[in-house]
Structure formats: C-alpha cells, structure tokens
Amino acid sequence: MTRVAVIDVGTVTARLAISSVEAERVTSMTRRSTIVNLGEGVDHSGILLESACNRLLSCIDDYLAEVRGDSVDALCCTLTSAARDAKNSAQLLDELAARGLKAQVIPGEVEGRLTFLGVAQDFPTSRLLVADNGGGSTEFAVGSLEAGRTLSLDFVRSIDVGCRRVTEKFLSRADPPTSEDLAAAHEFAAEAFEPVLSWERTGVAKPNRLVVTGGTSTTIVALAKALVPYDSSQVHLATISREVVDEQERRLAGVTAAERAKFDGIQPKRAPVILGGVVAVSEILRAAGFGELTVSESDLLYGLSLTVAAAVEGRPSPVGWAPEL
C-alpha cells in the first residue's frame, strides 16, 4: 500500500487529499476543501492579488501541518487555471517552494486527463464525456478506462469558462444580475463550448454519459436536496436533469449574493460565484446534447493520487505526465 498526499490549488478552492492506494486503486481518502478565491480579479488584471495569495498560503500552512501529522510516502501540489493565467505566478511558486513544496502549474490538458482518470474509476469501460467545471476554466475529456486500467481518450480540451470568470465578466455589475447580463453570460459560455461539444463538427461519436465534477455541480445537488450538513453519499453519482439545473439558476438569479448565502446546501463563500457556475453547467448540457448529467466527487484529487502513487512505485504515469514529489 502506498500513502500519498496531494494538494490541488484551483481558482476558487484549495483542496487536500490524503489517500491510500493499493493495486492501482484508491482504497481510502480523507479530504479537506477551503475556498480561498486565489483567482480573485485575475480575469481583469492578469495578476494574483497579494491578499488572495496570503489566503492561499495560510491555507497551505494548515494543510502541511496536517500532512506532517500523517505518514505519507509522497506529497504533490498542483495549481490550475488562475495560476496559468496570472503573470506573477512565479512569486507564489517561490513562496510555496520556501515551504518545501515543489508546486507545479499544470496545463489544462493534464488537468483534464487527471480528472478523467479519477472519474472513470466508477465507470470502467464506459465511454464518457467528463467535464471539470472549475473557477477559471472547464476541462473536457472524452474516452474510457479500458481493461488493464489504461486510458483511451478521443480528446482533451481546456476552455476558459468557469464560475469566477463568468461572474467577473458578466454577473458582478448588478446584484442580482440583470436579465441582459445573464443572457450575455449564457452566450459567452455557449460560444465557447459549442465548437468543442458539437459531435457532428468534431467528428467524435457522442459519448454514452456526461459526468460533471467541481464545486458548482456538487452544490447544485446540495441546493436541490437542501442538504444541511453536506452529505457526500447523496451527492456522489447523483443524477440531475437539465430542468433541475435551470430551476436552480432561476432561483439563484432572482436574489442577491447575500441572500444566496443563506440557502440550504451552499457554502456561504461560494454564493458570489455559484450563479456563474450554474450558467456554465447549463450550457454544457445544451452544447453536448444531454438531458441529464451525473455528478462525481472522484475528480482530479483521485486521478492525482493515482498518478503520484504510480511515481512512488516506479510505474509509468497513467496520464503521461510526471508529478514533482
């Protein structure tokens, strides 16, 4: 058995997972998630704010203290969309290096492969469209996990549409947003997604199932079920229809961010960006031609844990990317 710790730093959330991996499967995992909003203002300014970096570093210090209290064989830290976009990410990487972290800013394609690897553990041999809808970008991957646990992918694409990016571009001018701004947000997401998810245009056969990961999709389920407290067993692998997604959008769009924060099933810090995420999920369904989606919590953290364990054990990377340990 290999014991690994992985930290994923996204545009909105920083997450820690400590996992046991045996026979190329995650057999146990403990997770922590903290909304730090690293990507605050990045879409407009192109830089990481000092206040946002400080929030992240405080979170990382807490995570490292937890990792030191465990017995792990390796630790890996990755950063995604906000760090890819920001011109001053190197300064943040230096701060992380001072804490002993060999942090890597990973390309969107690697992010998509890692997420697909995690999701596909629950759907062996099924042909999937996996959408990882984050704060700054959405990664799409189509393919399957074949016998022998080998990834077979038709394509992986990263598109710069995420809950924070949509919010900062269109939904932060009025609170609640105007119908015109909401329509513009939908148009932006649709124009970005349709070229990738139009099966006739791409020549890729339509997958059998759409699986979506990320804080927006899990929050849609939690809102629809009014989950207090959050219950992973009612969220992971839940199926929700396009009608439920649109219903939650109407509900969220009609109130202020402060009022959204009081809804059962939402983390208060996610309230300012949740509507932008729901707009993106809605347009994923429409562009891909699905009437429903499956929500998965077996996301990048699972794929990253499996990839780190492979590196520790001296096996080839399952996603063709080598993590820094």
Q: Is residue 279 part of a domain?
A: yes
pLDDT per residue as tens digits for the range 123-179: 998 999 999 999 999 999 999 998 777 899 999 999 999 999 999 999 999 999 999
Strands (E), the chain: 2-9, 13-22, 25-35, 74-79, 104-105, 128-133, 138-146, 150-159, 209-213, 239-241, 292-295
Domain stop point among 83, 107, 131: 107
**Same domain (yes/no): 64, 89:** yes
**Same domain (yes/no): 225, 282:** yes
pLDDT per residue as tens digits for the range 268-297: 999 999 999 999 999 999 999 999 999 999
Burial of 166 (0-12, 13-18, 19+ CB in 10 A): buried
**Same domain (yes/no): 220, 148:** yes
**Same domain (yes/no): 149, 281:** yes
Q: Is residue 305 part of a domain?
A: no
- The length of the chain is 325
**Same domain (yes/no): 129, 264:** yes
Domain extent at residue 24 = 2-107
**Same domain (yes/no): 218, 81:** no
**Same domain (yes/no): 140, 262:** yes
pLDDT in single tens digits along all 325 residues of the chain: 999 999 999 999 999 999 999 999 999 999 999 999 999 999 999 999 999 999 999 999 999 999 999 999 999 999 999 999 999 999 999 999 999 999 999 999 999 999 999 999 999 989 999 999 999 999 999 999 987 778 999 999 999 999 999 999 999 999 999 999 999 999 999 999 999 999 999 999 999 999 999 999 999 999 999 999 999 999 999 999 999 999 999 999 999 999 999 999 999 999 999 999 999 999 999 999 999 999 999 999 999 999 999 999 999 999 999 999 9
> Which CATH number does the domain housing residue 22 bear?
3.30.420.40
| pTM for this predicted structure | 0.96
**Same domain (yes/no): 133, 270:** yes
**Same domain (yes/no): 220, 280:** yes
Tokens 């949509």 belong to: 166
**Same domain (yes/no): 53, 193:** no
Which residues are CB-neighbours of 44 under 8 A, at least 6 positions away?
Answer: 168
Residues of the chain with pLDDT > 90, as a percent, come to 97
Coil/strand/helix, residue 220: helix
> Which CATH number does the domain housing residue 215 bear?
3.30.420.150
